[in-house]
Each structure stands twice: as C-alpha cells, then as structure tokens.
Amino acid sequence: MKTYNPNTVAAPAGPYSHGVEIPATARVLHLSGQIGIAQDGSLPADVESQADQCWKNIKALLAAAGMGVEDLVKCTHFLTRPEHVAAYGKVRARHLGEARPASTLLVISALARPDMLVEVEAIAAKA
C-alpha cells in the first residue's frame, strides 16, 4: 500500500496518513465496528481498558484473515466523551505501532449501550 501525506496539506496530527492507496490485486476486508467487549462478554468500565480490548478484537479479526495492523487502510474511531481523546490515542498508538492507516475520529453522543465508550470500524487490504 502507498500512503499519501503531501507537503501541500498540513502534516497529520497523529499516527495516521491522509490517504492510503490499495493495490489493484489486494484482498479487502471490512471490519464491523468493534467495541471493548471481551470474549467472555465482559465490558470494562474505563476507556483505556475498553480501547485496549477493542484493538485486541480488531487484531484477532485481522489475524483470522491472515492480516495485521500493517494492512489497515482506514479506521473510523468513535468516542462518547471528548475528554477521552488523549487516553484513547495512547492506546491506539500502542496497538498500531508504525502502521499509518487513514483515520477519522468522531466524538458522538452515544453508542448502542450507555456503558460503551469506544468503537472502531476498519478496512484492511492485503496484496
């Protein structure tokens, strides 16, 4: 994949790319929104733990498809509280490492359940 961060626009404000090009021969995987619920059905109360579990779920789905975070093309992040942006960003950066998918972060009024604080949907591609 090729990333685009031209010097004709402001540099990305975080660990993402402004654009990502998928090779014509790539397999594309669309991930439904992932939340911080563990396999046993438990949901931690704090945003850091929910975000960590959310990213573990994303990595498990990618692994099932023979992919990893380096294959992420686009992520859309949903948070329910603006004060969680910095804490979420640290968890996200830890899980992404050097991967720089295109990204959008939204602070919204609510998710499907009031105890859910974060959700991430993603698209991955692998040639």
Q: Is residue 98 assigned to a domain? A: yes
Q: Is residue 15 assigned to a domain? A: no
Beta 2-4 vs 19-21: how paired, if at all?
Answer: antiparallel
Number of folded domains in the chain? 1
Q: Do residues 29 and 44 make contact, with C-beta atoms less than 8 angstroms apart?
A: no
Neighbouring C-beta atoms of residue 100, cutoff 10 Å: 19
Q: Is residue 55 assigned to a domain? A: yes
Enter the pTM of the model.
0.94
Q: Is residue 13 assigned to a domain? A: no
Q: Is residue 60 assigned to a domain? A: yes
Q: Is residue 86 assigned to a domain? A: yes
| Residue 79 burial by Cβ neighbours in a 10 Å radius (0-12, 13-18, 19+) | buried
Mean pLDDT, 10 residues at a time, over the chain (127 residues)? 95 93 96 97 97 98 98 98 97 96 97 97 96
Q: Is residue 36 assigned to a domain? A: yes
Owner of token pair 């929910």: 50
Give the structural domain span for 71: 2-8+26-126
Residues 6+ apart with CB under 8 A from 91: 48, 51, 52, 55
Nearest CA to 79 among 100, 106, 98, 53? Answer: 106
Q: Is residue 84 assigned to a domain? A: yes
CATH code assigned at 98:
3.30.1330.40
